[in-house]
Amino acid sequence: MKMGHFFILLEFVFLIAMCGSDSGEVKPLPPYDLTGKLADTYSKYQEKSISDRRFKHSELVPLINKLGANFEVEKAGKSIEGRDIYLVKTGKGPIKVLLWSQMHGDESTATMALLDIFNFLGQNDEFDALRQQLREQLTIYFIPMLNPDGAERFERRNALGIDLNRDAQRLQCPESQLLKRIRDQTDADWGFNLHDQSRYYAAGSKANTATLSFLAPAYNEQKEINQVRGDAMRLIGWMNTQLQPLIPGKIAKYYDGFEPRAFGDNIQKWGTSTVLIESGGLANDREKQEIRKFNYLALLTAMDAIANRRYAPVSLDAYNKIPFNNGNAFHDLILREVEVEKEGNWYMVDIAFRNNERDMDGNREFYYRSSVSDIGDLSIFYAYEDFPGKGYRAVPGKTYPEVLPNINALKKLDASKLWREGYTSVRLQVVPQGQLYSQYPLQLLSGNGNPETDIISGTNPALLLQKDGQTRFVVVNGFLFDVQEGVKWERY
């Protein structure tokens, strides 16, 4: 036996001893606390100038252009509408890592996380040893905001109306051509495909939101596992073990069906170990600022693991045991076991609402136009807010008889008193843009408008929740209010 083969055999035996068979029990990995330390210090590096999801290309560019000496920045190409797409490079190591974000224009969480990572990599402090190791072992290429035209409209597709993640074969769009060219030029060993998914996904069959979902995309219909895909699976298994203490039970695995037009699937096929990260939902985090932090932690943890091959001894079982996404399992509000009236009879049902976003101010802001998302037996579904409604009757509210001139006149009313009298809607002569549907505790109607009263999917009824003939709670535009708590108008 040749000496080189002998050492390879020894390494193979060592790896088996470390992790066991891929079909057997996952052995515990040695303690490692980098992710926790990064979480504790995150606020030092967060890019404070970006604090909501709907930022534009014009806000990103100055942050890219101010990057310091640790980075190389170039204009890699232009979008269909002529916006510059940037390539940011750092490090000089032999392992090439490529990350691209906002391929879909309304999926901006990871772009925010990349800005935080730039801040982290550009500083000098107690993490200098990690930074030096990353720069010596890795060459990292970032493409933040691959689809700036879509970001301008805060919509998924680009200016041509094409989903860039379905353009890996035809390469019809300049943005797609740019990503393919950079992948080929760098011959990247690792790729990170960074997206957002619906906040209504659950992690498996429990009442946990899928805050992050990972995937090692398939590269063929058979979903075969070669070294390239297997390494991506092992890395995800490692990332999951490090993140679970911070978001226990809220990590899922994205659907792994092969999509021949998708970039992730094709980049895996082209020889780059590819990890998909989908940012989903988390309670009280509509703007995904906490999820942004978890992206930051996931990516830095992954880079450290790549530089140190921490993923190598991880069993594939660590990946396979991550639960799949449970699609559309969550709603914003579910009223459980309330009674509704129809044709003089009362029926017990569950009623679910979702708070849908509607764009305003050039897609820079939004308002809520909620609706009933489902009705019936919803015992297998979950909610960000769950109302135990047994013994309550859900009754459509009335409209206040006087037409008010404006919002200021509305705020002079005692909303709690109106609720107790059965009123949930108010007509205004002038309704500001975006406030016809909002988080106000009374539904605003314009002119002679009438409220929706049918409690069926797709409608937006304002409801009184009554027990023993007394109104205890109300639902207005899909938001639940407690009558006893009253209304603090200064919030609105």
Local structure of residue 448 (DSSP, 8 states): T
**pLDDT at residue 336 in the model:** 98
> By mean pLDDT, which of 180-189, 223-232, 447-456 is the weakest?
447-456
Write the CB contacts of 162 (distance below 8 Å, at least 6 apart in sequence): 172, 173
Whether residue 358 sits in one domain with residue 219: no
pLDDT digits (tens, 9 = 90+) for 65-109: 999 999 999 999 999 999 999 999 999 999 999 999 999 999 999
For residue 15, what are the domain limits? 3-326
Structure tokens at 464: 């009184």
Q: Of 326, 349, 377, which one is at a domain's C-terminal end?
A: 326
Q: Per the structure, how many domains does the chain have?
A: 2
pLDDT at 29 over 60: no
Whether residue 182 sits in one domain with residue 105: yes
Q: Of 310, 326, 342, which one is at a domain's C-terminal end?
A: 326
Whether residue 199 sits in one domain with residue 58: yes
pLDDT at 2 over 60: no
The count of other CB atoms within 10 Å of the CB of residue 214 is: 24
Q: Which of 267, 263, 370, 373 is nearest to 328 (CA)?
A: 373
Q: Of 306, 326, 346, which one is at a domain's C-terminal end?
A: 326
Whether residue 348 sits in one domain with residue 265: no
Structure tokens at 491: 């919030």
Whether residue 366 sits in one domain with residue 263: no
Structure tokens at 336: 């459980």
Q: Are 174 and 182 in contact (CB under 8 A)?
A: no
Whether residue 334 sits in one domain with residue 322: no
Whether residue 355 sits in one domain with residue 312: no
Whether residue 243 sits in one domain with residue 360: no
Local structure of residue 43 (DSSP, 8 states): G
pLDDT at 189 over 60: yes
Q: Are 243 and 214 in contact (CB under 8 A)?
A: no
Whether residue 83 sits in one domain with residue 64: yes
Q: Are 379 and 405 in contact (CB under 8 A)?
A: no
The count of other CB atoms within 10 Å of the CB of residue 270 is: 18
**pLDDT at residue 447 in the model:** 81
Whole-number Å distance between alpha carbons of 471 and 62:
53
The CATH number covering residue 433 comes to 2.30.40.10
Whether residue 358 sits in one domain with residue 296: no
pLDDT at 452 over 50: yes
Q: Which residues pair with 349 in a beta bridge?
A: 338
Whether residue 249 sits in one domain with residue 199: yes
- Cα 173-175-179 angle, rounded to 5 deg: 120
**Residue 331 Cα distances to 199, 221, 379, 419, angstroms:** 9, 33, 12, 25
Whether residue 411 sits in one domain with residue 309: no
